[in-house]
Amino acid sequence: MHGNRYLSKRTRRYIGAVIAAGVTTFAAFMTLPSASAQSCTMHDATQWQLALHDAAREQSPANVRSVTEAFLNACPTRPEFSEASRVAGIAAVDMQDAEAASAHFANAGRMADLLSNFYAMSAFHKTGNAKATWRLRDHIVERWRTRLERHPMVSVSVEPMQDGMLYQLYFSATDQNSGTRAAWVAVPYGPGWPATLSFSHDRMRLALRKARAAKDNDFRYVDLNRCHGRRTLGRIETTLSSAEFDATARASLTAYLANPDQPDSRRPDQIAVCVLPNRLLPGVPKP
């Protein structure tokens, strides 16, 4: 049962990239002077996408990588090449092939989603390219910060600490799923993953607790989100404001920055990938 859920999550990742590639295909078709004049046409791109959607074939990392690399080798000049490289890179990481994944991610160029970028960082680090790993981290953190600063419902403040940067986020509109009201994000100056302390009103967890306790307590969760998981530090009453909690958050993340998580795996042959990177760099609240 666990394996089926894991495979389903993988499939959704690949299909999401394929949808993006489909948009790229359509846009490219509208701009090309003649599709038939290309050595590799939109038909080839469509066949690649159909192969990834083929219900008769198991959408395992090996299959996704095989059909995608075949397309990449046959169509290196197609506009879908970057998206296909991203798909192949994710599949290669899932197959624990860091060298191939690094090459695919390098060909993919700039990637917008956090998951692909965190996969790329893990692959780069596994091949010993620390410079590329942390340079990419700094780039995506900067793009993340800029995107939040432009959002009218988010307040962002940045403070340099001794061992890294501390980003304080306040959301005037909460995410319906997580109910995040505030977050403190720590990013090391040197090697290391970000970590986030979130101050949230998680509806699902609140509902479960109310059902078990048979009473209607109202409080918020304090969670420490790190590369390999989330730990709930406690619950606080809603009467305590985010500003009042700020000193505690700063102290906790100052300690983290002094010894941040590194992308080291428990097994030397395994690529260590962060789980749920959107919790490490929380995005704009959903309406």
Q: pLDDT at position 236, please?
A: 64
Helix (H) or strand (E) holding 116: helix 114-126
For 38-86, write each residue's pLDDT tens digit.
578 999 999 999 998 888 888 899 999 999 999 999 999 999 999 999 9
Strand, helix or coil for residue 92 = helix
What value, to the nearest 5°, has the Cα angle with vertex 148 and ends 105 and 238? 120
Q: pLDDT at position 84, please?
A: 97
CA distances from 216 to 67, 191, 209, 223 (A): 53, 44, 9, 21
Summary mean pLDDT of the chain: 81
Q: pLDDT at position 75, please?
A: 96
Residue with tokens 């995506």: 140
Q: pLDDT at position 174, please?
A: 57
* Cβ-based neighbour number of residue 189 at 10 Å: 15
The candidate with the shortest Cα–Cα distance to 192, out of 164, 169, 223, is 164
Cα 216 to its chain centre, rounded Å, is 34
Predicted TM-score (pTM) of the model is 0.81
Structure-block tokens of residue 185: 């994000």
Q: Is the pLDDT of residue 18 over 60?
A: no
For 134-180, write each residue's pLDDT tens digit.
999 999 999 999 999 999 989 999 999 999 999 999 888 655 555 56
3-state secondary structure labels for all residues of 125-144: HHCCCHHHHHHHHHHHHHHH
Q: pLDDT at position 179, please?
A: 58
Helix (H) or strand (E) holding 230: strand 229-237
Residue 135, C-beta contacts closer than 8 angstroms, at least 6 positions apart: none
269, 259 Cβ separation under 8 angstroms:
no
For 198-208, write each residue's pLDDT tens digit.
877 655 444 44
Residue 249 pLDDT grade (very low, low, confident, very high; cuts 50, 70, 90): confident
Structure-block tokens of residue 140: 């995506």
Contacts of 13-19 with C-beta under 8 Å, sequence gap 24+, read: 13/90, 13/115, 14/52, 14/59, 14/64, 14/87, 14/90, 14/91, 15/52, 15/53, 16/113, 17/83, 17/86, 17/87, 17/90, 17/116, 18/49, 18/52, 18/53, 18/83, 18/87
Q: Is the pLDDT of residue 2 over 80?
A: no
For 82-117, write each residue's pLDDT tens digit.
999 999 999 999 999 999 999 999 999 999 999 999
